[in-house]
Amino acid sequence: MEMVKIRKIPRRKKMKVGHTLFVAGMLALVCFTALPMVAMICRAFMPLDELYLYPPRIIVRKPTLSNFADLLTSLSASEVPFSRYIFNSLFTTGVTVFLSIFVCCAGAYGLAKFKPRGSTTIFAIITAALMFSSYVTQIPNYLIVTELGLVNSYWALILPKVAVAYNFFLVKQFAEQLPNSILEAARIDGSGEFGTFWKIAMPLLKPAWSTLAVFSFVSNWNDYFSALVYINKDAMKTLPLALQTLAGGAGVVARSGSVGAATLLTTLPTIIVFCIMRGRVMQTMTYSGIKS
């Protein structure tokens, strides 16, 4: 009786096939995830006759820049120029990001390294604040801003978003792992507490506050609700609120192309910031601790 020889597939070949299938699957998921981004970019350059085709079209066939021209015309028709909205958003977002980084880093560093009386209770309150939605605190924030007389001012858009519980929690986890030996060496060399914090602790905390800067920029740049609550003057409106106003009201169909262009312009700065800072964000996510 003849023995049937079974040819075994080499293990290396099996691994290569499995790796190829894995890469193909991941590429398919990436393409599927990128579809909204591709659709947003294409919609910004679609002429009006392509926007209302059925079935809907994702890829633009005849790209045009008329949507951006219509956007500038629509926003410039009011008494407030388009550049004013951009300045308002850039100024409030930039100041909020800077103050949030400084306040959260200084508070987290002091709480982690000096451990004042009641620090455990303070951190427990901050952790508990993570469970509350930001919309829950809108009424207390509005009452405080109104009592301080900050309505229709830049400070109304900045101060309520400076001390964020999540930002504080993120930085504190890094600050606890700062080596005390380095801080003590700086103090022995004659550095003051602020100098030690600014020149020693802040560079070591760079992965944390870089990630904080990205998250803070994205959330504040896209925030139109705060301006809707605290701002009544057109000259003080931010870009997202102005674009939300453009997307509503009469003539929505005629302005669909302008809305697509506005969406791209609003999203583009956040994409640029993330692309620049993505290395720091990935470093934070895979951070395993600072060792002396």
Q: Is the separation of the CB atoms in 272 and 258 below 8 Å? A: no
Is 90 exceeded by the pLDDT of residue 20? no
153/28 same-domain check: no
Instruction: Give the max Cα distance, the chain.
Output: 99
105/250 same-domain check: yes
pLDDT tens, residue by residue, 224-245: 888 888 988 888 888 888 777 7
Count Cβ atoms within 10 A of the Cβ of residue 7 and give its class: 0-12 exposed, 13-18 middle, 19 or more buried: exposed
Q: Does 3 map to a domain?
A: no
pLDDT, residue 57, reads 76
126/217 same-domain check: yes
Rounded Cα gap, residues 171 and 103, in angstroms: 11
Q: Does 4 map to a domain?
A: no
pLDDT, residue 126, reads 87
157/41 same-domain check: no
Q: What is the pTM of this model?
A: 0.76
pLDDT, residue 120, reads 86
Q: Does 291 map to a domain?
A: no
Backbone conformation region of residue 282, classed left if phi is above 0, alpha if psi is from -120 to 50, else beta: alpha
Q: 96: part of which helix (H) or strand (E)?
A: helix 82-113
Please tell me the total count of domains within the chain.
Answer: 2
Mean pLDDT over each residue of the chain, to the nearest integer: 80
Q: Tokens for 210?
A: 């870089």
151/230 same-domain check: yes
pLDDT, residue 1, reads 45
pLDDT, residue 49, reads 75
Q: Which CATH number goes with the domain that contains 279?
A: 1.10.3720.10
Q: Is the separation of the CB atoms in 243 and 74 below 8 Å? A: no
111/155 same-domain check: yes
67 — pLDDT class (breaks 50, 70, 90): confident
pLDDT, residue 60, reads 82
Write out the residue range of the structural domain in which residue 18 sits. Answer: 11-64
16 — pLDDT class (breaks 50, 70, 90): confident
